[in-house]
Structure 1
């Protein structure tokens, strides 16, 4: 009997060790899987994806999943050129970009410089400090977006690419005397922040990145440039920003850097390709309170007086709308010129404006 218990003990030890090893391996594998899943930014919520196409959009052909065979070689060359921004676009790549059904007629020919063609007719103010008020994140909250459009202008309104009914919304904004921009979602550093669908990500393949940019730039027409929605991670990536600037160069647009990251690569990438670029000076409403907005506007005024111009970015918040409704006419009465953003692009790049036949 004693020998039988001893034999049983010898047999049980390897089994226990094998089971323990299997358990440890399973835990390690589960941890590795979890790390892969939760180390990435979560996808946009499904309810946000639902607003990507309005009833009118459903009549439009869907975005192609991949380039057609005839375009693949040119697309490959465009992808390879991302690392060489200082060279002019190859003729065949430019031809493919112009032939593809991606752009509205008013922004189709890069030689026409869409930012010049779509600029609001505005005389340069003489001797007055200029302030460009850019309101982005417009288009999702319809009530507050309409309240922004009703403000005295001219303002520059930057519409999120995934908002609904953008043709109608942007037409109303233009009729209200405001200039239009595209607010392009870009990857933030925080995985908890949700920039929305079709966000530009650092991990995107160049071809996928180009498709996302094309989709965002085809959502409405009549705009003059692009600024980043979030993007503290993406704007610091030079390769990603090179791809953005390639697209803006081909379309004759400018880039306004919202400066959500101190190490943004936007200005350097733009300048390397000859894309006009500006940077915002002040955020008006990181805190949604009238006191904060008024304080930030005081900073904007000081910058404008010192340098001749300032760019402020705000959002369709109740406090921002309420303060701007009174501040804009008061600032004009005190000698400030409220101008659309293209006036400041024109101020910085007068040769481009004149080369397009404008004086």
Structure 2
């Protein structure tokens, strides 16, 4: 004779059911948010290109999300910029500016600190023509120039004038060669898409030093959500990046074009310089 088996259930109070439902919803939302949270983003710029063809070629073998900053008077500048464009790689005008160790540079590459905004525009236009398809610019050296608000403002005003006639305006990346730089501040104030360098990858060229700089870049990106590094076409840097970039897969860090990390705050109302003869330079009192 089979004895029926009774399954006894303990009634759950409605308050407990509600609490369990809320907890399940919170957990599901947390898991969903964690899964959907965007990765930290990094961008990399390789500076000082256009003068050494073998090093230029080596940089172009790296991931195409890495930008190239090209010195406009380099003998290989135009060819390199054209090849970068074929790779859909972003190119920047790497604009030389005067620095504290040698004072005002005398070459045709350098804008003079006393120039008017219109004279700055003419200089930037020439530089941009030497780097076809450029999408932005960053400064080469410039610790003297960018620390002066007046000179930097006229440079940015010149860029505003130039951008008015471009299909796609140039953005600005401040290389931050001095803690006193005004470049990002003035560009942002003028409503130009702007970003700043956080890490120099190869201030020291040894593999160990580059690895430590890379670690700082990753930590900065995790802390702030994004970070920009600048490197140079050293063989040690190229070899390191060739190994490090593929290793980012699945790390929660995404390599993006540098334009993805620029932002504009304006435009803000700033006086835009008009064509005028250059005046004698007077240090800004700001």
When normalised by structure 1's length, the TM-score is 0.58
- State the match for 1:311 in structure 2: 228
The equivalent of 1:332 in structure 2 is: 249
Flag the 1:329–1:350 CA change in 2: closer, same or farther, 3 A. farther
Aligned to 1:133: 44
Aligned to 2:146: 235
**Does the C-alpha gap of structure 1 residues 278 and 195 become closer, same or farther in structure 2, counting only changes over 3 Å?**
farther
**Counterpart among 94, 97, 102 of residue 183 in structure 1:** 94
Structure-2 residue corresponding to 1:278: 195
Q: In angstroms, what is the RMSD of aligned CA positions?
A: 2.4
User: Which of residues 227, 232, 240 in structure 2 aligns to 1:323?
Assistant: 240
Cα drift, residue 271 of structure 1: 2.6
Cα separation, 2, equivalents of 1:180 and 1:288? 23
- How far apart, in 1, do the equivalents of 2:183 and 2:265 lie? 21
Q: CA deviation at 1:153?
A: 2.8
The answer on whether the counterparts of 1:185 and 1:196 sit within 8 Å (CA) in structure 2 is no
> Cα distance, 1:192 vs. partner?
8.0
2 CA distance for matches of 1:247 and 1:126? 40
Separation in 1, partners of 2:61, 2:107:
26
Match of 1:112 in 2: none
Retained in 2: the 8 A contact 1:188–1:195?
no
Q: Which residue of 1 aligns with 2:206?
A: 289
Q: Does the 8 A contact of 1:224 with 1:253 survive in 2?
A: yes
Separation (CA, whole Å) in 1 of partners of 2:63 and 2:139: 25
Cα deviation, 1:70-128, whole Å, max 9, x if unaligned, reads xxxxxxxxxxxxxxxxxxxxxxxxxxxxxxxxxxxxxxxxxxxxxxxxxxxxxxx9611
Q: 1:259 and 2:170 equivalent?
A: no
Q: Following TM superposition, where does structure 1 have runs of at least 4 consecutive aligned residues deviating by more than 6 angstroms?
A: 192-195
Per-residue deviation, 1:193? 9.7
1:166-205 pair list within 5 angstroms: 166-191=77-102, 197-204=108-115
Structure richer in helix, relative to its length: 1
In 2: Cα distance, 1:139 partner to 1:314 partner = 15
Any idea what SS the aligned residue of 1:218 has?
helix
Q: Secondary structure at the match of 2:130?
A: coil
Q: Does structure 2 retain, via aligned residues, the 8 Å contact 1:130–1:310?
A: yes
Per the alignment, in what secondary structure is the counterpart of residue 217 of structure 2?
Answer: helix
The match for 2:60 is: 149
Contact (CA 8 Å) 2:65, 2:256: kept in 1 or not? yes
How far has the Cα of 1:267 moved from its partner? Answer: 2.2
Which structure would you say has the larger RCO, counting Cα contacts within 8 Å and 6 or more residues apart?
Answer: 2
TM-score, with structure 2 as normaliser:
0.72
SS of the aligned residue for 1:240 comes to: helix
Matching residue within 133, 157, 173 for 1:246: 157
CA distance in 2, matches of 1:129, 1:344: 11
Partner of 1:152: helix, strand, or coil? coil
Cα deviation, residue 208, structure 1: 4.5
Asked if structure 2 preserves the Cα contact closer than 8 Å seen for 1:300 and 1:310, the reply is yes
Q: Residue 137 of structure 1 contacts residue 316 of structure 1 at CA under 8 Å; is this kept in 2?
A: yes
| 8 Å contact kept, 2:78–2:132 | yes
